[in-house]
């Protein structure tokens, strides 16, 4: 009979322990990352009354077999704080007590940075993972994560991509005549020789850009002024760059040009590579220049080019410099057009203090408008004061940066950070315009904010717009996570029964993913806990009745002696 008392007591103890576990679950309902527990019970066998059958066995009550953690997924709460991290799936964060040099594991992802830049939890333990080097490459050593990179060094521009369309209908232009330099043409009319200036005799303004119509009018004026009473027709085809001169049938004499460079200094601009063959009779016969005319003139860059676009390049100190790219249609070939380009650096940006052409080259298109070839870059520096050019091997920017900065220009294949590309620059019959502009330089930058992706990669976003990988959060999982030892403050310790930690990057080897700006809430279900509380209460009450009933029976037994 006394064993019934002890049976009731075991029931009281077991249900009281159950209530304690339930109370702990409920008290941590708002604890971030908390995982609830549940109690398992086992009966106690004390004696067999008679025989060996199981029907004659009497138990001695109940014992609490174990308290097991329930590692089900908790709900998520969005916080807006970049260092609030939740795990969607399996795994634990690794945190290091650097004072005791002890590693713990947790699902609570409330992290901040301390005064040294380490990512720490509320107890000051440091989050662990891989750190990245200055180039953003991860080092394969697990260590405390520290956001020590506050400034990234500048990167000088070494390559530039310009994908554009250059209008195939653009005119071939570029006529700038200067007195005593390139303004004279030599010819004879009816056997009488003449040397005339397109500036002083033809009315062009020395050093100013002239249109093709103005040049045609100047040639006509020179010819008719040399032989009064004669009339000449002069025209220009802006697609071929060729001048045509016709001797009117009413004129008195033949027209014969001498376009050798030694005599006619304007020959190159007018498109005459060689002397015209034979005189033009006064019967409407014509001369047509045999090469495209015009050229780019730095002092008249806008009027002697067809299209321009500004580019921003960075020197070795991270200073930005504006370089204007001018494009000029140079010639119409049998298989496609050729364009010249000139990279012009303003005097305020140039080491020499003068506005210079610091790089130039040519691009050729085929008859379908696709880019056919790119000529090598000429880095000779040309200025208005030095039209002959100064030998150089790259860009020379002002500001104390390194000189001879070479920049690879690519008009045919995209230069991207991934190193892949597709064809880009075209020459179609639509307006010129840029479709893509990429260069690989940047200035120095200071850390503005961080962002963490689902793979646990911590990226720094800097003031220069660059993003650099700073670290990667790693996760640990266990063969038996329910066997981890609770160390308080939502921390767990490894045990023999839990097995050794399996460490990996989020999203690999069964690990969960990291959700930034999010916290995992407690997985405690209040409704379930209240039901469990009622069950435990009723169990406690029932066992107390066993004790009181047994007590009454013992009292009756004692009273038998009376």
Beta strands in 220-281 (DSSP E): 232-237, 242-247, 255-258
Residue 291's pLDDT band (cuts 50, 70, 90): confident
181 pLDDT exceeds 50?
yes
427 pLDDT exceeds 70?
yes
Mean pLDDT, residues 445-465 taken together: 94
Long-range contacts of 228-232, Cβ-Cβ distance < 8 Å, separation of 24 or more? 230/189, 230/282
Residue 412 to residue 426: CA distance in whole angstroms: 8
Question: What is the predicted pLDDT for the residue at 549?
Answer: 87
DSSP single-letter state for residue 442: B
What Cα–Cα distance (Å) separates residue 168 from each residue in 149, 271, 306, 375? 50, 20, 11, 19
Question: What is the predicted pLDDT for the residue at 54?
Answer: 56
71 pLDDT exceeds 50?
yes
Residues 6+ apart with CB under 8 A from 372: 335, 336, 364, 365, 366
Residue 287's pLDDT band (cuts 50, 70, 90): very high
Mean pLDDT, residues 235-246 taken together: 94
Question: What is the predicted pLDDT for the residue at 420?
Answer: 39
Closest CA to 395 of 357, 438, 363: 357
179 pLDDT exceeds 80?
yes
Question: What is the predicted pLDDT for the residue at 553?
Answer: 85
Q: How many CB atoms lie within 10 A of CB 174?
A: 25
**344 versus 229: which is more confidently predicted?**
344
Q: How many CB atoms lie within 10 A of CB 402?
A: 13
Query: Which residues share a beta bridge with 381?
Result: 390
Question: What is the predicted pLDDT for the residue at 59?
Answer: 75
**335 versus 308: which is more confidently predicted?**
308
48 pLDDT exceeds 80?
no
For a pLDDT cut of 70, what percent of the chain falls above it? 95
Do residues 447 and 460 touch, judged by C-beta distance below 8 A?
A: yes
Q: How many CB atoms lie within 10 A of CB 279?
A: 19
Do residues 308 and 302 touch, judged by C-beta distance below 8 A?
A: yes
Q: In this structure, what are the phi and psi dihedrals at residue 8, rounded to the nearest 5 degrees?
A: -65, -40
DSSP single-letter state for residue 520: E
Beta strands in 83-125 (DSSP E): 85-88, 92-97, 102-106, 112-113, 119-120
Put simply, whether the predicted model's pTM sits higher than 0.85 gets the answer no
Q: In this structure, what are the phi and psi dihedrals at residue 377, rounded to the nearest 5 degrees?
A: -85, 135
Mean pLDDT, residues 521-532 taken together: 93
Closest CA to 143 of 118, 122, 124, 123: 118
Question: What is the predicted pLDDT for the residue at 416?
Answer: 42
332 pLDDT exceeds 90?
no
The structural domains of the chain, ordered by start, are: 2-72+523-559 (no CATH), 76-153+446-520 (no CATH), 159-169+296-439 (2.60.98.20), 175-288 (no CATH)
Residue 531 to residue 443: CA distance in whole angstroms: 63
Q: 484-493 pLDDT, tens per residue? A: 999 999 999 9
- The chain-wide mean pLDDT, for the chain, equals 91
Residue 413's pLDDT band (cuts 50, 70, 90): low
Question: What is the predicted pLDDT for the residue at 414?
Answer: 44
Question: What is the predicted pLDDT for the residue at 50?
Answer: 60
Name the region of 195 (left: φ>0; alpha: ψ -120 to 50; beta: rest).
beta
Q: 21-38 pLDDT, tens per residue? A: 999 999 999 999 999 999
415 pLDDT exceeds 60?
no
Residue 9's pLDDT band (cuts 50, 70, 90): confident
* 326: its two tokens: 């001018």
């Amino acid at each position: 009979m006394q064993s019934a008392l002890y049976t009731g007591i075991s029931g009281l103890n077991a249900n009281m322990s159950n209530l304690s576990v339930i109370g702990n679950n409920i008290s941590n309902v708002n604890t971030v990352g908390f995982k609830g527990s549940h109690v398992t019970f086992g009966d106690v066998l004390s004696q067999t009354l008679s025989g060996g059958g199981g029907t004659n066995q009497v138990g001695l009550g109940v014992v609490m077999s174990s308290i097991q953690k329930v590692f089900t997924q908790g709900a998520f709460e969005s916080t807006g704080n970049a260092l609030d991290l939740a795990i969607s799936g399996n795994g634990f964060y690794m945190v290091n007590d650097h004072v005791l040099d002890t590693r713990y594991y947790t699902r609570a992802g409330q992290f901040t940075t301390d005064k040294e830049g380490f990512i720490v939890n509320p107890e000051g333990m440091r989050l662990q993972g891989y750190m990245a080097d200055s180039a953003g490459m991860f080092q394969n050593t697990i260590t405390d994560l520290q956001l020590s990179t506050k400034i990234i060094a500048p990167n000088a521009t070494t390559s530039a991509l310009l994908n554009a369309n250059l209008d195939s209908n653009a005119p071939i232009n570029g006529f700038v005549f200067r007195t005593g330099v390139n303004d004279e043409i030599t010819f004879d009319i009816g056997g009488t020789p003449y040397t005339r200036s397109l500036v002083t005799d033809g009315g062009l303004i020395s050093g100013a850009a002239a249109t093709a119509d103005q040049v045609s009018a100047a040639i006509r004026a020179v010819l008719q002024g040399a032989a009064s009473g004669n009339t000449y027709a002069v025209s220009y085809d802006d697609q071929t760059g060729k001048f045509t001169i016709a001797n009117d049938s009413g004129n008195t004499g033949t027209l014969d040009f001498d376009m050798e460079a030694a005599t006619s200094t304007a020959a190159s601009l007018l498109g005459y590579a060689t002397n015209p063959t034979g005189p033009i009779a006064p019967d409407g016969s014509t001369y047509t220049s045999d090469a495209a005319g015009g050229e780019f003139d730095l002092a008249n860059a806008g009027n002697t080019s067809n299209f321009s676009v500004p580019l921003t390049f960075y020197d070795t100190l991270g200073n930005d410099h504006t370089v204007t790219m001018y494009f000029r249609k140079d010639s119409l070939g049998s298989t496609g057009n050729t364009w010249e380009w000139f990279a012009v650096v303003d005097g305020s940006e140039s080491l020499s203090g003068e506005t210079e052409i610091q790089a130039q080259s040519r691009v050729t298109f085929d008859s379908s408008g696709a880019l056919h070839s790119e000529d090598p870059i000429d880095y000779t520096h040309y200025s208005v004061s030095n039209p002959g050019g100064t030998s150089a091997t790259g860009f020379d920017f002002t500001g104390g940066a390194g000189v001879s900065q070479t920049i690879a220009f690519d008009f045919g294949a995209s230069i991207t950070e991934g190193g892949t590309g597709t064809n880009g620059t075209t020459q179609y019959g639509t307006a010129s315009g840029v479709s893509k502009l990429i260069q690989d330089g940047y200035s120095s930058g200071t850390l503005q904010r961080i962002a963490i992706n689902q793979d646990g990669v911590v990226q720094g976003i800097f003031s220069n717009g660059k993003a650099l990988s700073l670290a990667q959060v790693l996760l640990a999982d266990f063969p038996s996570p329910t066997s981890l030892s609770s160390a308080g403050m939502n921390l767990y310790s490894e045990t023999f029964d839990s097995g050794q930690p399996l460490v990996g990057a989020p999203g690999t080897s069964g690990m969960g993913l990291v959700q930034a700006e999010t916290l995992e809430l407690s997985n405690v279900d209040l409704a379930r806990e209240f039901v469990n509380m009622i069950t435990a209460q009723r169990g406690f009450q029932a066992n107390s009745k066993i004790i009181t009933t047994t007590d009454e029976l013992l009292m009756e037994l004692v009273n038998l002696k009376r």
